[in-house]
Amino acid sequence: MTALRYQYRIYPTAPQRQMLARTFGCVRTVYNDALKIFQDAWRAGSVRPSMGAVAKAVTTDAKRTAERAWLGEVSAVPLQQALRDLATAYTNFFASVSGRRPGPRVGPPRFKKRTERQSARFNRNAFALKASGRLYVAKVGDLRVAWSRALPSVPSSVTVIKTATGKYYASFVVAVDDGAELAEPITDPEAETGIDLGLKAFAVLRGGKVIENPRFFRRLERKLRKAQRALSRKQQGSSNRAKARVRVAKIHEKVRHTRADWVDKQIHRIVRENQAVYVEDLCVTGLSRGRVAKSVHDAALGMFLGRLESKAHRAGRTFVRVDRLFPSTRLCSACGALTGPKGLEGLSVRQRVCGCGAVHDRDRNAEINIRREGRRLVAEGLPDT
Protein backbone atom coordinates (compact mmCIF):
# COMPACT_ATOMS: atom_id res chain seq x y z
CA MET A 1 0.00 0.00 0.00
CA THR A 2 1.14 3.53 -0.82
CA ALA A 3 -0.06 6.67 0.94
CA LEU A 4 -0.96 9.49 -1.45
CA ARG A 5 -2.39 12.96 -1.00
CA TYR A 6 -5.44 14.30 -2.82
CA GLN A 7 -6.11 18.01 -2.43
CA TYR A 8 -9.35 19.86 -3.15
CA ARG A 9 -10.52 23.43 -2.83
CA ILE A 10 -13.09 24.04 -0.10
CA TYR A 11 -15.36 27.02 0.51
CA PRO A 12 -16.13 27.60 4.20
CA THR A 13 -18.75 30.12 5.25
CA ALA A 14 -17.88 33.17 7.38
CA PRO A 15 -18.66 31.42 10.72
CA GLN A 16 -16.70 28.38 9.57
CA ARG A 17 -13.73 30.56 8.67
CA GLN A 18 -13.81 32.05 12.16
CA MET A 19 -13.84 28.59 13.75
CA LEU A 20 -11.00 27.45 11.52
CA ALA A 21 -8.99 30.52 12.52
CA ARG A 22 -9.51 29.59 16.18
CA THR A 23 -8.47 26.02 15.45
CA PHE A 24 -5.29 27.13 13.68
CA GLY A 25 -4.40 29.37 16.63
CA CYS A 26 -5.08 26.64 19.21
CA VAL A 27 -2.94 24.14 17.28
CA ARG A 28 -0.06 26.61 17.23
CA THR A 29 -0.47 27.42 20.94
CA VAL A 30 -0.54 23.78 22.09
CA TYR A 31 2.51 22.96 19.98
CA ASN A 32 4.49 25.92 21.36
CA ASP A 33 3.43 25.26 24.97
CA ALA A 34 4.57 21.64 24.71
CA LEU A 35 7.84 22.64 23.08
CA LYS A 36 8.52 25.15 25.88
CA ILE A 37 8.07 22.42 28.51
CA PHE A 38 10.63 20.22 26.76
CA GLN A 39 13.08 23.09 26.35
CA ASP A 40 12.74 24.17 29.99
CA ALA A 41 13.39 20.60 31.14
CA TRP A 42 16.49 20.41 28.95
CA ARG A 43 17.87 23.73 30.23
CA ALA A 44 17.26 22.66 33.82
CA GLY A 45 19.05 19.38 33.23
CA SER A 46 15.95 17.42 34.23
CA VAL A 47 14.77 14.12 32.80
CA ARG A 48 12.82 14.67 29.61
CA PRO A 49 9.11 14.46 30.51
CA SER A 50 6.91 11.90 28.82
CA MET A 51 4.70 13.00 25.96
CA GLY A 52 1.64 11.81 27.86
CA ALA A 53 2.41 14.07 30.81
CA VAL A 54 3.10 17.02 28.52
CA ALA A 55 -0.09 16.42 26.54
CA LYS A 56 -2.14 16.41 29.75
CA ALA A 57 -0.49 19.64 30.89
CA VAL A 58 -1.01 21.63 27.67
CA THR A 59 -4.52 20.37 26.84
CA THR A 60 -6.56 18.81 29.66
CA ASP A 61 -5.10 20.86 32.51
CA ALA A 62 -4.69 24.01 30.43
CA LYS A 63 -8.39 24.08 29.51
CA ARG A 64 -9.22 24.43 33.22
CA THR A 65 -7.21 27.64 33.53
CA ALA A 66 -8.51 31.11 32.75
CA GLU A 67 -5.75 31.97 30.26
CA ARG A 68 -6.20 28.80 28.19
CA ALA A 69 -9.92 28.11 28.63
CA TRP A 70 -10.53 28.93 24.97
CA LEU A 71 -8.75 25.71 23.97
CA GLY A 72 -12.01 23.93 24.77
CA GLU A 73 -13.85 25.80 22.00
CA VAL A 74 -12.21 23.75 19.23
CA SER A 75 -11.94 20.05 18.50
CA ALA A 76 -9.37 18.19 20.61
CA VAL A 77 -8.24 16.06 17.67
CA PRO A 78 -6.08 18.66 15.82
CA LEU A 79 -4.49 19.56 19.17
CA GLN A 80 -3.50 15.90 19.66
CA GLN A 81 -2.20 15.76 16.10
CA ALA A 82 -0.01 18.81 16.79
CA LEU A 83 1.56 17.00 19.75
CA ARG A 84 2.18 13.95 17.56
CA ASP A 85 3.93 16.22 15.07
CA LEU A 86 6.14 17.52 17.86
CA ALA A 87 6.98 13.98 18.97
CA THR A 88 7.88 13.07 15.38
CA ALA A 89 10.08 16.17 15.08
CA TYR A 90 12.01 15.18 18.21
CA THR A 91 12.33 11.59 16.99
CA ASN A 92 13.78 12.76 13.67
CA PHE A 93 16.14 15.16 15.44
CA PHE A 94 17.58 12.55 17.80
CA ALA A 95 17.86 9.99 14.98
CA SER A 96 19.71 12.53 12.87
CA VAL A 97 22.10 13.46 15.67
CA SER A 98 22.90 9.79 16.36
CA GLY A 99 23.39 9.04 12.67
CA ARG A 100 20.47 6.62 12.40
CA ARG A 101 18.59 8.93 10.02
CA PRO A 102 20.08 9.22 6.52
CA GLY A 103 20.23 12.47 4.63
CA PRO A 104 21.07 15.99 5.74
CA ARG A 105 21.18 16.90 9.42
CA VAL A 106 17.80 17.68 10.97
CA GLY A 107 17.63 20.46 13.55
CA PRO A 108 15.58 20.50 16.78
CA PRO A 109 11.92 21.56 16.70
CA ARG A 110 11.29 25.29 16.65
CA PHE A 111 8.38 27.40 17.81
CA LYS A 112 5.56 27.89 15.33
CA LYS A 113 4.98 31.47 14.23
CA ARG A 114 1.76 32.96 13.02
CA THR A 115 2.23 32.99 9.26
CA GLU A 116 -0.14 33.52 6.38
CA ARG A 117 -0.23 29.77 5.68
CA GLN A 118 -1.95 27.82 8.45
CA SER A 119 -3.18 24.24 8.78
CA ALA A 120 -4.82 21.74 11.12
CA ARG A 121 -5.02 17.97 10.73
CA PHE A 122 -8.03 15.82 11.63
CA ASN A 123 -8.14 12.01 11.84
CA ARG A 124 -11.11 9.76 11.14
CA ASN A 125 -12.68 10.51 14.52
CA ALA A 126 -13.07 14.18 13.64
CA PHE A 127 -14.23 14.26 10.01
CA ALA A 128 -16.65 12.46 7.71
CA LEU A 129 -17.59 12.52 4.04
CA LYS A 130 -21.32 13.09 3.64
CA ALA A 131 -23.46 11.54 0.91
CA SER A 132 -24.25 15.08 -0.24
CA GLY A 133 -20.58 15.60 -1.10
CA ARG A 134 -19.91 17.83 1.88
CA LEU A 135 -16.98 17.37 4.24
CA TYR A 136 -17.94 17.37 7.91
CA VAL A 137 -15.20 18.60 10.26
CA ALA A 138 -15.69 18.48 14.02
CA LYS A 139 -16.68 21.82 15.59
CA VAL A 140 -16.52 23.44 12.12
CA GLY A 141 -19.48 21.92 10.30
CA ASP A 142 -20.19 20.81 6.74
CA LEU A 143 -17.73 22.30 4.24
CA ARG A 144 -18.47 22.65 0.55
CA VAL A 145 -15.83 20.82 -1.50
CA ALA A 146 -15.01 21.30 -5.19
CA TRP A 147 -14.51 17.63 -6.11
CA SER A 148 -12.28 17.48 -9.21
CA ARG A 149 -12.00 13.67 -9.03
CA ALA A 150 -13.14 10.85 -6.79
CA LEU A 151 -11.02 9.58 -3.92
CA PRO A 152 -9.62 6.08 -4.63
CA SER A 153 -10.31 4.88 -1.08
CA VAL A 154 -11.48 6.04 2.32
CA PRO A 155 -9.10 8.73 3.62
CA SER A 156 -7.29 8.21 6.92
CA SER A 157 -6.87 11.91 7.67
CA VAL A 158 -7.58 15.33 6.26
CA THR A 159 -5.57 18.52 6.66
CA VAL A 160 -7.45 21.80 6.31
CA ILE A 161 -5.11 24.44 4.87
CA LYS A 162 -5.44 28.19 4.55
CA THR A 163 -3.03 29.74 2.05
CA ALA A 164 -1.49 33.20 2.01
CA THR A 165 -4.07 34.31 -0.57
CA GLY A 166 -6.99 33.38 1.70
CA LYS A 167 -7.94 30.17 -0.12
CA TYR A 168 -8.86 27.00 1.75
CA TYR A 169 -7.99 23.44 0.79
CA ALA A 170 -8.69 19.96 2.15
CA SER A 171 -5.75 17.59 1.74
CA PHE A 172 -6.74 13.92 2.17
CA VAL A 173 -4.31 11.07 2.88
CA VAL A 174 -5.48 7.86 1.21
CA ALA A 175 -3.96 4.39 0.92
CA VAL A 176 -3.66 3.07 -2.64
CA ASP A 177 -2.73 -0.45 -3.72
CA ASP A 178 0.77 -0.62 -5.19
CA GLY A 179 -0.61 -2.04 -8.43
CA ALA A 180 -3.50 0.36 -8.77
CA GLU A 181 -1.64 2.76 -11.07
CA LEU A 182 0.40 0.25 -13.08
CA ALA A 183 0.56 1.26 -16.73
CA GLU A 184 0.47 -1.12 -19.67
CA PRO A 185 4.02 -2.43 -20.27
CA ILE A 186 5.73 -1.19 -23.44
CA THR A 187 7.29 -4.10 -25.31
CA ASP A 188 9.38 -1.97 -27.67
CA PRO A 189 13.01 -2.31 -26.44
CA GLU A 190 13.74 1.19 -27.74
CA ALA A 191 11.05 2.74 -25.53
CA GLU A 192 13.52 4.15 -23.04
CA THR A 193 15.25 7.45 -22.61
CA GLY A 194 18.00 9.19 -20.75
CA ILE A 195 17.29 12.66 -19.41
CA ASP A 196 19.93 15.37 -19.34
CA LEU A 197 18.66 18.24 -17.22
CA GLY A 198 19.88 21.78 -17.59
CA LEU A 199 18.97 25.45 -17.39
CA LYS A 200 19.16 26.65 -21.00
CA ALA A 201 17.03 23.68 -22.07
CA PHE A 202 15.10 22.12 -19.21
CA ALA A 203 15.70 18.57 -20.47
CA VAL A 204 17.01 16.69 -23.49
CA LEU A 205 15.50 13.27 -24.16
CA ARG A 206 16.29 10.47 -26.54
CA GLY A 207 16.60 11.43 -30.18
CA GLY A 208 17.50 15.02 -29.32
CA LYS A 209 13.98 15.87 -28.17
CA VAL A 210 14.23 19.11 -26.20
CA ILE A 211 11.92 20.31 -23.44
CA GLU A 212 12.36 24.07 -23.28
CA ASN A 213 12.80 25.76 -19.93
CA PRO A 214 9.56 27.71 -19.28
CA ARG A 215 11.12 30.03 -16.64
CA PHE A 216 7.83 30.74 -14.89
CA PHE A 217 9.37 32.94 -12.18
CA ARG A 218 11.41 34.98 -14.65
CA ARG A 219 8.27 35.75 -16.64
CA LEU A 220 6.51 37.29 -13.64
CA GLU A 221 9.58 38.70 -11.90
CA ARG A 222 8.98 42.25 -13.10
CA LYS A 223 5.34 42.14 -11.99
CA LEU A 224 6.40 40.72 -8.63
CA ARG A 225 9.02 43.44 -8.19
CA LYS A 226 6.41 46.17 -8.73
CA ALA A 227 4.00 44.50 -6.30
CA GLN A 228 6.69 44.16 -3.63
CA ARG A 229 7.70 47.77 -4.11
CA ALA A 230 4.10 48.87 -3.64
CA LEU A 231 3.84 46.69 -0.51
CA SER A 232 6.91 48.31 1.04
CA ARG A 233 5.30 51.75 0.76
CA LYS A 234 2.15 50.81 2.66
CA GLN A 235 1.77 51.69 6.33
CA GLN A 236 2.24 48.85 8.80
CA GLY A 237 -1.10 47.45 9.99
CA SER A 238 -3.21 49.27 7.39
CA SER A 239 -5.86 47.61 5.25
CA ASN A 240 -4.07 48.79 2.11
CA ARG A 241 -0.96 46.91 3.24
CA ALA A 242 -3.04 43.77 3.74
CA LYS A 243 -4.39 44.09 0.20
CA ALA A 244 -0.91 44.68 -1.20
CA ARG A 245 0.38 41.61 0.65
CA VAL A 246 -2.33 39.48 -0.95
CA ARG A 247 -1.36 40.79 -4.39
CA VAL A 248 2.24 39.67 -3.80
CA ALA A 249 1.08 36.30 -2.51
CA LYS A 250 -1.12 35.78 -5.58
CA ILE A 251 1.86 36.24 -7.91
CA HIS A 252 3.88 33.67 -5.96
CA GLU A 253 0.90 31.33 -5.97
CA LYS A 254 0.46 31.65 -9.72
CA VAL A 255 4.13 30.82 -10.31
CA ARG A 256 3.96 27.83 -7.98
CA HIS A 257 0.75 26.37 -9.40
CA THR A 258 1.74 26.93 -13.03
CA ARG A 259 5.13 25.31 -12.48
CA ALA A 260 3.68 22.30 -10.65
CA ASP A 261 1.06 21.74 -13.35
CA TRP A 262 3.69 21.95 -16.09
CA VAL A 263 6.03 19.53 -14.29
CA ASP A 264 3.23 16.99 -13.78
CA LYS A 265 2.30 17.11 -17.48
CA GLN A 266 5.91 16.56 -18.59
CA ILE A 267 6.28 13.64 -16.18
CA HIS A 268 3.03 12.07 -17.35
CA ARG A 269 4.17 12.17 -20.98
CA ILE A 270 7.65 10.79 -20.21
CA VAL A 271 6.28 7.88 -18.15
CA ARG A 272 3.59 7.12 -20.71
CA GLU A 273 6.03 6.95 -23.65
CA ASN A 274 8.98 5.13 -22.01
CA GLN A 275 9.38 1.81 -20.24
CA ALA A 276 12.71 2.84 -18.71
CA VAL A 277 13.90 6.27 -17.61
CA TYR A 278 17.51 7.07 -16.73
CA VAL A 279 18.44 10.38 -15.09
CA GLU A 280 21.54 11.98 -13.65
CA ASP A 281 21.51 12.22 -9.86
CA LEU A 282 22.01 15.97 -9.58
CA CYS A 283 23.07 17.68 -6.36
CA VAL A 284 20.29 20.25 -6.51
CA THR A 285 21.12 21.60 -3.05
CA GLY A 286 24.65 22.43 -4.13
CA LEU A 287 23.53 23.95 -7.42
CA SER A 288 21.06 26.21 -5.61
CA ARG A 289 23.89 27.84 -3.66
CA GLY A 290 25.86 29.15 -6.64
CA ARG A 291 25.53 32.00 -9.08
CA VAL A 292 22.65 30.32 -10.89
CA ALA A 293 20.65 29.70 -7.69
CA LYS A 294 17.61 31.69 -8.87
CA SER A 295 17.50 29.80 -12.17
CA VAL A 296 17.87 26.44 -10.40
CA HIS A 297 14.98 27.23 -8.06
CA ASP A 298 12.89 28.47 -10.98
CA ALA A 299 13.49 25.25 -12.93
CA ALA A 300 12.47 23.12 -9.88
CA LEU A 301 14.86 20.31 -10.85
CA GLY A 302 14.54 18.64 -7.45
CA MET A 303 10.75 18.60 -7.61
CA PHE A 304 10.89 17.21 -11.15
CA LEU A 305 13.22 14.33 -10.19
CA GLY A 306 11.29 13.45 -7.06
CA ARG A 307 7.90 13.38 -8.77
CA LEU A 308 9.28 11.56 -11.79
CA GLU A 309 10.73 8.81 -9.60
CA SER A 310 7.47 8.42 -7.66
CA LYS A 311 5.35 8.35 -10.81
CA ALA A 312 7.65 5.87 -12.58
CA HIS A 313 7.59 3.43 -9.66
CA ARG A 314 3.81 3.61 -9.32
CA ALA A 315 3.42 3.02 -13.07
CA GLY A 316 5.78 0.02 -13.03
CA ARG A 317 8.49 1.71 -15.09
CA THR A 318 12.22 1.26 -14.61
CA PHE A 319 13.79 4.32 -13.01
CA VAL A 320 17.55 4.59 -12.46
CA ARG A 321 19.63 7.47 -11.12
CA VAL A 322 23.11 7.61 -12.64
CA ASP A 323 25.85 8.70 -10.27
CA ARG A 324 26.41 12.46 -10.33
CA LEU A 325 30.17 11.93 -10.78
CA PHE A 326 29.64 10.03 -14.04
CA PRO A 327 31.24 12.21 -16.81
CA SER A 328 28.22 12.19 -19.12
CA THR A 329 29.19 15.50 -20.78
CA ARG A 330 32.91 14.87 -21.25
CA LEU A 331 32.56 11.29 -22.53
CA CYS A 332 32.39 10.80 -26.31
CA SER A 333 29.33 8.68 -27.11
CA ALA A 334 30.96 7.48 -30.36
CA CYS A 335 34.38 6.25 -29.26
CA GLY A 336 34.21 6.45 -25.46
CA ALA A 337 37.15 8.85 -25.16
CA LEU A 338 37.13 11.17 -22.15
CA THR A 339 38.17 14.26 -24.09
CA GLY A 340 35.51 16.84 -23.25
CA PRO A 341 36.39 20.13 -21.50
CA LYS A 342 36.49 20.11 -17.71
CA GLY A 343 34.84 22.32 -15.13
CA LEU A 344 33.49 25.78 -15.84
CA GLU A 345 35.18 26.02 -19.23
CA GLY A 346 32.85 23.32 -20.52
CA LEU A 347 29.69 25.25 -19.66
CA SER A 348 30.09 27.61 -22.62
CA VAL A 349 30.91 24.84 -25.11
CA ARG A 350 27.65 23.74 -26.73
CA GLN A 351 29.26 21.69 -29.51
CA ARG A 352 32.62 19.97 -29.73
CA VAL A 353 34.55 17.75 -32.14
CA CYS A 354 36.10 14.59 -30.72
CA GLY A 355 39.45 13.24 -31.90
CA CYS A 356 37.60 10.42 -33.65
CA GLY A 357 35.86 12.98 -35.89
CA ALA A 358 32.45 12.83 -34.22
CA VAL A 359 30.66 16.17 -33.79
CA HIS A 360 28.64 16.31 -30.57
CA ASP A 361 25.91 18.54 -29.23
CA ARG A 362 26.72 18.68 -25.53
CA ASP A 363 23.25 17.84 -24.20
CA ARG A 364 22.45 15.14 -26.76
CA ASN A 365 25.80 13.50 -26.13
CA ALA A 366 25.13 13.55 -22.37
CA GLU A 367 21.70 11.95 -22.83
CA ILE A 368 23.19 9.06 -24.82
CA ASN A 369 25.84 8.46 -22.17
CA ILE A 370 23.30 8.62 -19.33
CA ARG A 371 21.08 6.11 -21.13
CA ARG A 372 23.97 3.70 -21.71
CA GLU A 373 25.13 3.95 -18.11
CA GLY A 374 21.57 3.37 -16.91
CA ARG A 375 21.33 0.24 -19.06
CA ARG A 376 24.61 -1.01 -17.62
CA LEU A 377 23.36 -0.53 -14.06
CA VAL A 378 20.17 -2.41 -14.83
CA ALA A 379 22.13 -5.23 -16.53
CA GLU A 380 24.29 -5.59 -13.43
CA GLY A 381 21.16 -6.05 -11.37
CA LEU A 382 21.51 -2.89 -9.33
CA PRO A 383 18.21 -1.83 -7.73
CA ASP A 384 16.31 1.19 -8.99
CA THR A 385 17.15 4.27 -6.99
Active site positions, annotated: 196, 280, 363
Contact call for residues 358 and 184 (beta carbons, < 8 A):
no
Question: How many other C-beta atoms can be found within 10 angstroms of the C-beta atom of residue 367?
Answer: 27
342: left (phi over 0), alpha (psi -120 to 50) or beta: beta
Torsional class of 141: left (φ above 0), alpha (ψ -120 to 50), beta (otherwise)? left
CA–CA separation, 42 and 93 (whole Å): 14
DSSP string, 162-217: E-TTS-EEEEEEEEE-TTTTPPPPP--TT-EEEEEE-SSEEEE-GGG-EEE---HH
**Could you tell me which residues are beta bridge partners of residue 259?**
none
